[in-house]
Amino acid sequence: MLGIKNFDFITEKVNDFTIGDLKFVTDFKYAIEIDTVSLFDVHNNSKLLIDFVLIPKGDAPKFKVTIHFKKIGSLNLSASGTVIQLSGFEILNITDKGWDSTKYLVRDFENEDDFKFYCNDIEVTAIEETDLIVG
């Protein structure tokens, strides 16, 4: 889907998965991979690791999904100190806009001012069943 690496990690466990099934953010790690000695060098890459809670349709088990986003731009995040609830989460392929290496817009379209960023690469790195109580 959309060129997301290892997307099949999710679809192997949840057949009818859609991006909107990612309902909560429980972990959010932003870092810079420094390629040279200068902090502001163009060769440095920003990365974002996010743990989502995936709530499938029906009575299927819940999962924790870790997704790695690379080369982050225009990161907007507003959080209140608890898990971040997503009400309209989506990942849009925007390569047709011709913005250098920016390929994706990641956002919660219901709360775009609270959760939105651009990136050029997305990879699912892990999925595991979780017992988190939601509600």
Q: For the segment 80-102, what is each residue's pLDDT rounded down to a tens digit? A: 878 889 999 999 999 887 767 77
pTM of the predicted structure, to 2 decimals: 0.90
Residues whose CB is less than 8 angstroms from the CB of residue 122 and which lie 6 or more positions away in sequence, other chains included: 2, 3, 4, 5, 67, 68, 69, 70, 91, 104, 106
Percentages (nearest 5) of helix, strand, coil residues in the chain = 10, 45, 45
So what's the pLDDT on residue 135?
66
Q: Which amino acid is at 39?
A: L
For tokens 């990365």, the residue is 47
- If you average pLDDT over residues 115-123, what whole number do you get? 94
Cβ-based neighbour number of residue 101 at 10 Å: 12
DSSP one-letter code for 37: S
Give the tens place of pLDDT for each residue, 107-118.
999 887 889 999
Beta strands of 34-82 (E only): which ranges?
45-54, 62-70, 73-77
User: Across residues 60-67, what is the average pLDDT?
Assistant: 94
